[in-house]
Amino acid sequence: MTILEKAVSTMQQLPIEKQQEALNFIEFLVFKLGDRQLDAANLDELCDRAAKVPEGVEIIHDNRSYVLVTHEEWESLTETAELMKVPNLLAQVQSARQEYQNGEVLTMEQMFG
């Protein structure tokens, strides 16, 4: 699979609103990274580093900062962001933990009959 095929495959898995952002980033990577041309070996090196570092690889170009992360890390970050939108989620989790510690639990039969 070529680099372009990998990029297209990955982009197809992104939500539509993130595809243009990804395309802009790929265009940036294809044309140049700093003062050097980006070739397959450079991209492979960046991808390997991104796979090893959960917080991603920071790339700075023309006073703009980009972060390259694995698809799995991106999904995790997106899911966390979505969960954080739920009003009072942390309070609900804390309440559930307290109920559990107080023995306020239901059996599977009580829950599902």
Which of 24-28, 30-34, 86-90 bottoms out in mean pLDDT, i.e. has the lowest? 30-34
Domain co-membership, 60 together with 85: no
Top-confidence residue, 40 or 44: 44
Domain co-membership, 38 together with 65: yes
Structural domain total, the chain:
2
d(CA 100, CA 106): 9
Domain co-membership, 34 together with 19: yes
Q: Which domain holds residue 86?
A: 71-103
Contacts by 70-79 with C-beta closer than 8 Å and gap 24+?
71/10, 71/13, 74/14
Based on C-alpha coordinates, what's the Rg of the chain?
A: 21
Domain co-membership, 9 together with 58: yes
Whether pLDDT at 34 is above 60: no
Q: Could you tell me the maximum CA-CA distance found in the chain, to the nearest angstrom?
A: 66
Domain co-membership, 15 together with 55: yes
d(CA 85, CA 72): 20
Domain co-membership, 64 together with 33: yes
pLDDT in tens, 2-21: 665 676 677 777 777 777 77
Calculate the CA dihedral of residues 69, 73, 75, 77 and round it to 10 degrees.
-100
Domain co-membership, 29 together with 82: no
pTM (global) more than 0.75: no
Top-confidence residue, 96 or 2: 96
pLDDT in tens, 55-95: 888 887 778 888 889 988 988 888 988 888 888 988 999 99
